Copies of this chain bind each other. A is one copy, B any other.
Amino acid sequence: MRHVTITDLARRLNLSASTVSRALRDHPDISEQTKERVRAIAAKTNYQPNLIAQSLQTRRSNNIGVIVPEIRNSFFSTVISGIEDLAYESGYTIMVCQSNDTYERESINTRALAANRVAGMLVSVSQETADFTHLQQVITQGVPIVLFDRVVDEIDAPKVVVDDFKGARQAVTHLIETGRRRIAHLTSAGSLYVGRKRREGYEAALRAHGLTVRPEYIIEGGCHEEDGRAGARRLLAMAEPPDGIFAINDPVALGAFLYLQDQRVRIPEQIGLVGFSDNPNAVLVRPALTTIKQPAYEIGKTAASLLLDILEGRALKNGTTITLETRLVIRGST
């Protein structure tokens, strides 16, 4: 019923705990014969080292903390999948928290992970977060953080991102090149880094083609499907509705898509639509969604591998930021 300990093994073999410990870790000092005996009894009793005790003693941990806005968002669950696969290969386990896009929960999560003495953290900040001391404190305590996707300039930590500006500019340029002139943008509220960058890309594309940025065409909402629906409703209600929409991400784009479809607006003839992410379900709608492909799984793997580099002493250059490639995937919605 109880967990077997090293002391239990030692007692049964008439050895000291030290010797058993060394035998289990294959220390060269220990005789092969003793090692055999220890291994045999360990296997027989189903001994499992207590990683808690080991962590306390060695002040090292095999756990890494992950904080994302929402686990059930396809983009983030794919990132987590990438993180877990790499962590698994390297003998780490991940502790996963979601902030539900609130600052409060994000900071509580950060503390909980710190209290659990994770070796490091991988975080994508919430939409609400504007104060970053919770993250700074962790770093000050010597626990490395790698930021991904929702990164922030205020924190000096390695980052894994895609070129949001460029991706957005590409998306909007594509809308312009396919003949749209009244292009709206569905974006997040607040100061989300990716929101800002994508919006800048949107504006840059318009300007580069001599189009004016019309503030009424920029709808600030959230990052979910329902926000896309709401945004599309507002756009359709305008005296001069847009003929193109660039959404901050695929869920928002799909929300807009469904609303337009409900309203019998023809896509792409009346309104062209572009998303951002290339979630698996971008290909399910008809016409399929044109979008900017973001390598979610690779983002997870890359962020995890940066963290492992730090944990295993491979120093990173100051200000390391890895920018993964996005790609415009043209489908039927434009």
Contact = CB atoms under 8 A, between A and B. Distances in A.
A286 to B, nearest CB: 5
B97 A3 contact: no
A62 B105 CA distance: 17
Given A46-B141, A56-B56, 19 more contacts: A3-B141, A3-B142, A48-B111, A50-B115, A52-B117, A63-B95, A63-B116, A71-B77, A72-B80, A72-B81, A85-B98, A93-B113, A94-B95, A94-B96, A94-B97, A280-B281, A281-B284, A284-B285, A285-B286
A96 B97 contact: no
Interface residues of A, number: 57
Interface in A34-93: 46, 48-53, 55-56, 61-63, 70-72, 74, 77-78, 80-81, 84-85, 88, 93
Interface string A154-176: 00000000000000000000000
Interface centre among A72, A78, A98, by most chain B C-beta atoms within 10 angstroms, is: A72
A114 interface: yes
Contacts of A225: 280
Given A115-B50, A116-B51, A285-B285, A93 B93 contact: no
B72 A96 contact: no
Contacts of A55: 52
A85 B141 CA distance: 27
Nearest to A79: B72
A237 interface: no
Nearest to A75: B72
A282 B142 CA distance: 45
A45 to B, nearest CB: 11
22 contacts: A46-B137, A49-B115, A50-B115, A52-B61, A52-B116, A52-B117, A63-B95, A71-B77, A71-B80, A71-B81, A72-B81, A72-B297, A74-B77, A77-B80, A81-B98, A88-B105, A93-B113, A94-B96, A94-B97, A96-B96, A258-B283, A284-B284
B74 A81 contact: no
